[in-house]
Structure formats: structure tokens, C-alpha cells
Amino acid sequence: MAECTDPRCAVHHGLAPRGIQITGRVVSDKAKRTVIVETDFARYMYKYERFLRKRSRVPAHNPECINAKAGNVVNIAETRRLSKTKSFVVTGIVK
């Protein structure tokens, strides 16, 4: 593994993850050091007494040492706000 030069890395440079942790699929790796992570989940709706399928998209910081690509399943953790839209960091690739 190459030496990690990204200061915004939760593994090597002590970017403190806190708050929620989620596992999702990378749907976009177009932006530099940023991935879009999508998760499907079901939320129960009392009014209709059924589950409603929902989906969320979260922009997350993707350090070069992890370098997740579209299609990867990754763990992401909440951290401090890294940019206008990013407050999550990729902590590892599941598969």
C-alpha cells in the first residue's frame, strides 16, 4: 500500500469518526476524492400499515489509500464537516 498523504483520512491521519456508521454501495466515483454512497432501507408507515422502501444518497470523502470505486460496498462513518456537502468519510471496503 502506498504511503497515505491525505490528511482527511480516518485510518492514517486521525480524522475522528463519530456519530452514525452506515454500509452502502458506491454509485458514483466521478468527483476527486469523493464518492456517492447509496443505501436502501425500509421505513414502516403507520398510516398505510406497510413498509415503504426508501433510498438515501450520501456524499463521502474517499481517501486515496482506500480509493473506493463505483460498485464497491463500503463502510462510511460520520465525521466533522469536510465541505459544503460532505460530512462522511469512507472507512473501508466491504467487497
Phi-psi region of 7 (alpha: psi -120 to 50; beta: other; left: phi over 0): alpha
Minimum CB separation of residue 3 from Zn ion in Å reads 9
- Asked whether the beta carbons of 24 and 39 are under 8 A apart, the reply is yes
What part of residues 19-78 is at the interface with Zn ion (CB under 5 A)?
63, 65
Among 4, 22, 58, 93, binds Zn ion (CB under 5 A): 4
- Find the shortest distance in angstroms from Cβ 51 to Zn ion: 38
Instruction: Kindly state whether residue 8 participates in binding Zn ion, applying the rule CB under 5 A.
Output: no
- Give yes or no for residue 93 binding Zn ion (CB under 5 A): no
If the CB atoms of residues 9 and 74 are measured against Zn ion, the closer one turns out to be 9
Nearer to Zn ion, 58 or 65 (CB): 65
- Given the rule CB under 5 A, which residues bind Zn ion? 4, 9, 11-12, 63, 65
